[in-house]
Amino acid sequence: MLAFRRMAAFTLAAAAVSISLAAQEPDLTVLPPIPDDYSPGRTPWGEPDFRGGWPIDHLNGTPFERPEEFGNRVFLTDQEFAEKTERLAGLRARYEDEDSSGTMGMGHWAEMGESNRRTSFLVLPENGRLPPKTEEGKRNADKMRSSWRAAQRFQSPLDFDSWDRCITRGLPTSMFPGMYNNGIRIFQAPGIVAMQLEMIHETRIIYTDGRPPIPSRIGHWMGESRGHWEDANTLVIETVNFRPGPSATSVVTTGSPRNNDSPVSTEARLVERLTMTGPDSIVYEMIFTDPVNYTAPWGARTDWVRDDDYGMFEYACHEGNVQIRNYITADRALHEGGAAEGGE
């Protein structure tokens, strides 16, 4: 919890400065404190009731990492916000434009979100960018394989990540929007919180009954999660037992690092906080610590909005499960054909 306390201390200290400058321009480097005065309803067994649809499609279009030109600014200026709003409106209009012209392209594929003033999801470090990797982290990143990488061979299934192979998008990636299938639905039962994810049709199971952790040598693609309730409106989730490797998925979302190069180790730890701030709003925070791969923790904050009418669609991935084979056979044909003609 140390990183959360550090982030909270920074926010409160900056907020104090902001208040003293209230008559001047707003401080765009400060996130407002999370409201703590809302008490959600209770489940029949007495836990805070978070059940419902919390899709994050409205967030798509905000970068994961902050573009360097924004420095430590968490929020856009009025002009930048207007430009972002116009840009996203144009991207959303592609669907109707394609329909009217009888074509299909990215407008039918990418689901762009609503405009907001955030410069990035990442808020820790203060520059909104992933911290440098350790030397081991750089080596692990170089070993990663994915169809998102342009310059690599595809010779076996291990040259594809777990998202390519329709296994999982992994954590913490699954908690950030992709270009489509961004539904999240929360279910609860005594001692259990379940998060159904539309992407890859998987469900996170978070035990809140105090059961002990499983042995550390057992690794899962999504890690092993344990949760507890804090105050009357916050769910805290701690996840360990991640499964590392070159085919483990990475942070892949709008504005994420290029080449899919965000490795995870067995020492990684993810701490998430979901705070219900109103009947239809949750503030989501996360801190990811991996001393093997990163020189410092990194964290993000997003705002969820309830939408119980959001329809969850089947994530069919690639029909017939043939695309991995197609990549491999095409790669062989390309390189063997080149070799036969005297090329590399």
For residues 47 and 41, what is the distance between their CA atoms, to the nearest angstrom? Answer: 8
**Each residue's pLDDT tens digit, 143-167:** 888 887 767 889 998 888 888 888 8
Single-letter residue type at 277: T
pLDDT at res. 56: 96
For residues 173 and 254, what is the distance between their CA atoms, to the nearest angstrom? Answer: 11
Report residue 175 as tokens: 């908690």
- What 3-state class would DSSP assign to 286? strand
> 10 Å Cβ neighbour count for 319?
7
**pLDDT of 341 above 60:** no
For residues 311 and 182, what is the distance between their CA atoms, to the nearest angstrom? Answer: 10
Angle at 70 between CA 75 and CA 116, to 5 degrees: 30
Asked if the 42-59+133-340 domain carries CATH number 2.170.120.12, the reply is: no
Tally the residues of the chain.
344
Break the chain into its structural domains and give their ranges: 42-59+133-340
Lowest mean pLDDT among 50-59, 204-213, 240-249: 240-249
DSSP letter assigned to residue 294: B
For residues 25 and 22, what is the distance between their CA atoms, to the nearest angstrom? Answer: 7
For residues 104 and 98, what is the distance between their CA atoms, to the nearest angstrom? Answer: 6
What's the whole-model pTM score?
0.86
For residues 270 and 290, what is the distance between their CA atoms, to the nearest angstrom? Answer: 9
pLDDT at res. 98: 83
- Out of 92-96, 175-179, 313-317, give the one with best mean pLDDT: 175-179
Contacting residues for 90 by C-beta, under 8 A, at least 6 apart: none
Single-letter residue type at 271: V
Residues of the chain above pLDDT 70, percent: 88
**pLDDT of 179 above 70:** yes
Contacting residues for 76 by C-beta, under 8 A, at least 6 apart: 28, 70, 84, 117, 118, 119
**pLDDT of 16 above 50:** no
Query: Distances in Å between the alpha carbon of 24 and those of 17, 21, 52?
Result: 11, 5, 41
H helices present in 203-246, as ranges: none
**What band does 254 get if pLDDT is binned at 50, 70 and 90?**
low
**What band does 223 get if pLDDT is binned at 50, 70 and 90?**
very high
Lowest mean pLDDT among 175-179, 222-226, 249-253: 249-253
How many whole angstroms from its chain centre is CA 317?
A: 19
**pLDDT of 213 above 70:** yes
**Each residue's pLDDT tens digit, 89-145:** 888 888 888 888 888 888 777 788 888 999 999 999 999 999 999 999 999 988 888
Lowest mean pLDDT among 16-25, 162-171, 199-208, 282-291: 16-25
pLDDT at res. 116: 93
Q: Report the pLDDT averaged over residues 272-299.
A: 97
Residues of the chain above pLDDT 90, percent: 57
Which H helix or E strand runs over 97? helix 94-101
Which H helix or E strand runs over 186? strand 184-189
* Burial (0-12, 13-18, 19+ Cβ within 10 Å), 85: middle
Round the average pLDDT of the chain to a whole number and report it: 86
**pLDDT of 278 above 70:** yes
Report residue 211 as tokens: 């059961």
Q: Contact, 256 vs 300, CB < 8 A?
A: no
- For 3-32, give the DSSP string: HHHHHHHHHHHHHHHHHHTTTS---TT-PP
pLDDT at res. 7: 53
**pLDDT of 289 above 80:** yes
Q: Contact, 120 vs 64, CB < 8 A?
A: yes
Q: Report the pLDDT averaged over residues 210-231.
A: 94
Q: Report the pLDDT averaged over residues 30-59.
A: 96
**pLDDT of 284 above 90:** yes
**What band does 2 get if pLDDT is binned at 50, 70 and 90?**
very low
Shortest CA distance to 120 belongs to which of 9, 305, 5, 254? 254
pLDDT at res. 256: 59
pLDDT at res. 247: 75
Q: In sequence order, what are the beta bridge partners of 37? A: none
